[in-house]
Structure 1
């Protein structure tokens, strides 16, 4: 690919990201990052902020900001490790688990509006984006 084609591709990717994340947030009431964070906690249970940072591939300050907002909304509980004061454990609350389930059930029908791809196209796009991120 020449530089112009790469530039055009990256610009379209930027526009698609802006459009789809805005739609997602409008539909669900969650930012995509906080939603992914909560889903990870739902699957894993309690873990450290460092594990979340590594999973989401964002810096520690960003994880702290997201967790502060989620804690204020009653979605997570944070506590310091009594044996290592620098380590913070995070776990989802029952409110978070209930609201995630409700969100998933309510928005099952709107998924096509959020990402108008069939399963095969979605899987192919995920594979390509994962390759770009690595």
Structure 2
């Protein structure tokens, strides 16, 4: 029985190791200077702004950098190595849009003031 458990553990570790190259690095120690997004309160890059750096994810925007950004994002700018995914609901659920690198989006259309969670990638999601 102990050998069986050891084999299952080894298979699990090998599976995780083989997948490691396919997952974004979200370790707090990992930092990509080209992966950032400026998030604005209103369309047209008006109002308060906050910068998020990635790779990172925010399952709720209620306390993003000390402020409630839930259902508030009106425009965004992404850095040269950043893909930003905005989700309509918290915990990365419902409708989403992807904004690629070096993009300035002054109006989010149907997602204007709708985002409740975001993910910041340093590669195509």
TM (norm. structure 2) is 0.27
Higher strand proportion: 2
Higher helix proportion: 1
